[in-house]
Amino acid sequence: MLTLMQTELDHATRKNAFRRMLEICEREDPVYAVLHQNATFTALRRDIKWHAGASFAMDFRARNWG
């Protein structure tokens, strides 16, 4: 699969290979274990029209305002 991802130019074939790699890593032979999940809290004034994201990243791009 990895060789296919490195050499294949067809987008659909690469997408299928990546899907298969995720299937293996997440279901058939998990390569990680979730030990904990962090809570992230964000506060701001009501008159500010900014939306906090679901991750640690603070998105200050124009599309995230208003």
Report CA-CA distances (Å) from 32 to 20, 25, 62: 17, 8, 35
Domain boundaries, the chain: 2-64
Bridge partners, 26 (sequence order): none
End-to-end CA separation in angstroms for the chain: 43
Which residue type occupies 3? T
What pTM was estimated for this model as a whole? 0.47
Condensed to tens digits (0 to 9), the pLDDT of residues 5-62 reads 889 999 999 999 999 999 998 899 988 777 887 888 888 888 988 888 777 788 888 8
Confidence band for 2, pLDDT divided at 50, 70 and 90: confident
